[in-house]
Structure 1
Amino acid sequence: MALSKRDRFSNLPNGERYLYELFSLIETGNLTVTNPEGKVFHFGKADSEEPLHLNIHNDNTYNRILTFGTLGFCEAYMDGWWDEENNNLVELIGLLYRSNVSSKARNQVTIALAFKIITQRLRTLPILIQNSRKNVQHHYDLGNDFYQNFLDSTMTYSCGYRLREADSLEQMQLQKYELICQKLALQPGESLIDIGCGWGGMLIYAAEHYGISGTGITLSVEQAKLAQEQIEYRGLGDRIKIIIADYREVQGQFNKFVSIGMFEHVGKGNFATFMQKASRLLTANGVGLLHTIVTQSNERNGAWVDKYIFPGGYAPQLHELTQELWAAKLSVAHCENLKPHYAETLKRWANNFVSNRAKIASLNQTYDERFLRMWYLYLQSFEASFRYGGLHVYQILFYKDKQWRLDTPLMFNANAIQNI
């Protein structure tokens, strides 16, 4: 008589049994697990899809997952307690998404995990400006030299726009900037405010190609320093300035507004504040574009991401954005989902990260093995989330105080984008 899925693991310790029962949800994938004693377990169908092999090196992995769910799974990887044989974390995590393993693990909330989540969120809630500043600096002030080892020459740290399979990372980012400039219908002499400007790539592109003047807002001292250096190097110092400030502190009015990959740090309690600020920053008849990660899941950040990667982060759902835009009297004109483009962007970042791993490790003694594994897992897991999971990235074009004119373009010049 064949054993049931549950009976197959009845003699195993609780933690190991729990993990394998989760893996038993896999029906169409092909996963082999080798435990620390060398015992081998197979899940899914051996002749389906790309074979994946999970090697568990430390018995403590099981109880860590049982106690802390996906947080424990990720921390165990950081500590070197498990590996995928070919370092293919994208497909491993993608398999867990497609088999609903990850969502079932997230639903297992123990007292210990709940305590970790609550205390972390209380420390990092971006309601206070000082918390927002600390949250941003945790991630973005690791050092410009660190980011230069896996970003492209534009130092753009957001979703690119891929038109051809062979597009380089730099091409994807320049194509994204061109797409946004066209959507905003930028004109020479207009003023552009960029909230969360990063290293200034959007403003530099818009100034050089569309003749605008601009102001960039960031909370990262490291980003502001390099952005200003690039602006001066390109002779744009009289047209672009970078300000270290929270978006809530910004004053003035601008013809056009853009925010790329920053809204995820605003926090749920500040959605309305952000949209109202965008409205006040725009002149009458102004136009804006919000580029942000959006989730279909009820999980907005995840305990591991909140603790190690983006403290205080909170991915919105699409309806929350449109509701708050409408409440701020900002009307949506166009909405585009770039979900697969972000998967391709993250793939290129991870490839660069792996190629420059030794160089990154030499930059700072804090970039130890645990840190490097953490960052590789972050890049691979986010690629998996955009490729197979519930993460999306939207560009939402909106306007203030007017009816949308027929001569304002909503059909974009693909040739101009491709010929960058």
Structure 2
Amino acid sequence: MANLPTAERYLYELFSFIEDGYLKVTNPSGQVFTFGSADTQPQLHLQVYDQRTYANIITFASLGFGEAYMDGWWDEADDRLMELISMLYRNKVYSKASQKLTVPLALQIISQRLKTLPLLIQNSRSNVQYHYDLGNDFYQLFLDPTLTYSCGYQLTPTDSLETMQLQKYETICRKLDLKPGESLIDIGCGWGGMLIYAAEHYGVIGTGITLSDEQAALAKKRIAEKGLTDKVTIKIQDYRETEGTYDKFVSIGMFEHVGKNNFSTFMEKARALLKPHGVGMLHTITTESSERNGPWIDKYIFPGGYAPQLSEICRDLRSAKLTVAHCENWKPHYAETFKHWSDNFVANREQLASLSPDYNERFQRMWYLYLQSFQASFRDGSMHIYQVLFYGDKQWRLNVPLPGFLSTNTPG
């Protein structure tokens, strides 16, 4: 390897840490290099088509890695992208690469964060619309019929994606101990799946908050089609603008977007929205890493996102005088959810391309990498997802038996 270009040699030095699994690399000149043990699984093949891939990675780390994939400069030869990324996580290749922060990468990160920092409501609105206003037709091609874009709950390996999402909603309803006639606010309500389920099965009066015009329009249509307009209301506004008081509070897959400097603001708002003796549920991605939102994800997928650590959530709940009642990690369930989404995405690529000229090959490679890399991170990386149940009193008032919220006999 001594005669190889510096950037290529550097990448292979990182691959030399691979012990769990076997990786073959074919470079643009046709040279083959191997790493790991040939008698272990998985056995993967990284095909590099463009020499610029190496310089991109050494200069811009995960950002360069992702952009090179989007541009078609490299592939896993058998399309086992998730397994390749999982191998890099398991062998700590990512963590060792991230220890080297170059000046160009640092400047890219700073520039992107300044543009998307969700301190201002307008920035939060722009960040949400960038990802969630791609079009309802786009999301309908890989989500389930409930249009749920958050972690499902798998009870058996044969559970469909829709079943997983309904089991998630049922679990949350039971944790919140919902009763007919109670008021429920959902911050970051998406297409209204949680509120529709809670209104149909538990008779609550729901209010949903979203910043996405596309989501709100379809959520209102779905609510009307189910005859629930007298029970469920959707509002387009920032959580910081939301007023009123409610019996129960829920936020599913939204907290990752509020930004580090707004963690305490969000918790204080949750406390203000809850009636005395009210109960809330926060369902959010967390991380065990010091890197909260990688530069590629920040630039192309979730601008302004910032994954919290569990300790930060508990700290700010306590500061807002909210008491943690129960905490559950759903990490493996999100890996399975992302697998379903990725499979659906691949199966519907031609239909996706027909929706818009913007959904070209580069866009589709970008989204495929996102879906595969998140599945890998929930399987073998530092990403976790927690459901944190909390209440505003000093005394426990829930009648929910803990644990054991969900049996296999769930409402359909």
After superposition, the C-alpha distances for 1:350-392 in whole angstroms (9 at most, x for unaligned) are: 0000000010011000001000000000000000000000100
Residue 231 of structure 1 contacts residue 240 of structure 1 at CA under 8 Å; is this kept in 2? yes
* 2:46 alignment counterpart: 54
* 1:145 alignment counterpart: 137
| TM-fit CA distance, 1:406 | 6.4
Q: Does 1:193 align with 2:185?
A: yes
TM-score (norm: length of structure 2): 0.99
Residue identity opposite 1:172 in structure 2: M
Q: Does 1:372 align with 2:359?
A: no
Give distance in 2, aligned partners of 1:298 and 1:386: 16
Task: Report matched runs for 1:224-235 at 5 Å.
Answer: 224-235=216-227
Task: Report matched runs for 1:15-414 at 5 Å.
Answer: 15-405=7-397, 407-414=399-406
Give distance in 1, aligned partners of 2:203 and 2:196: 10
Residue identity opposite 1:293 in structure 2: I
Corresponding residue SS for 1:396:
strand
- Which of 7, 11, 19 pairs up with 2:3? 11
* 1:4 alignment counterpart: none
Corresponding residue SS for 1:414:
coil
Corresponding residue SS for 1:156:
coil
TM-score (norm: length of structure 1): 0.97
Give distance in 2, aligned partners of 1:65 and 1:249: 42
Count matched residues: 412
Residue 182 of structure 2 contacts residue 248 of structure 2 at CA under 8 Å; is this kept in 1? yes
Give distance in 1, aligned partners of 2:49 and 2:361: 16
CA 1:238 to 1:65, structure 2 compared with 1: closer, same or farther past 3 Å?
same
Corresponding residue SS for 2:407:
helix
| TM-fit CA distance, 1:71 | 0.7
- Unpaired segments of 5 or more residues in structure 2? none
What percentage of aligned pairs have identical amino acids? 66
After superposition, the C-alpha distances for 1:140-185 in whole angstroms (9 at most, x for unaligned) are: 0000000000000000000000000000000000000000000000
Residue 185 of structure 1 contacts residue 409 of structure 1 at CA under 8 Å; is this kept in 2? no
Corresponding residue SS for 1:52:
strand
Give distance in 2, aligned partners of 1:417 and 1:16: 55
Runs (4+) of structure 1 exceeding 6 A deviation are none
Give distance in 2, aligned partners of 1:308 and 1:270: 22
- Unpaired segments of 5 or more residues in structure 1? 1-8
Residue 197 of structure 1 contacts residue 216 of structure 1 at CA under 8 Å; is this kept in 2? yes
Residue 170 of structure 2 contacts residue 411 of structure 2 at CA under 8 Å; is this kept in 1? no
After superposition, the C-alpha distances for 1:14-58 in whole angstroms (9 at most, x for unaligned) are: 111011111111112100000111111000011101210000000
Residue 155 of structure 2 contacts residue 408 of structure 2 at CA under 8 Å; is this kept in 1? no
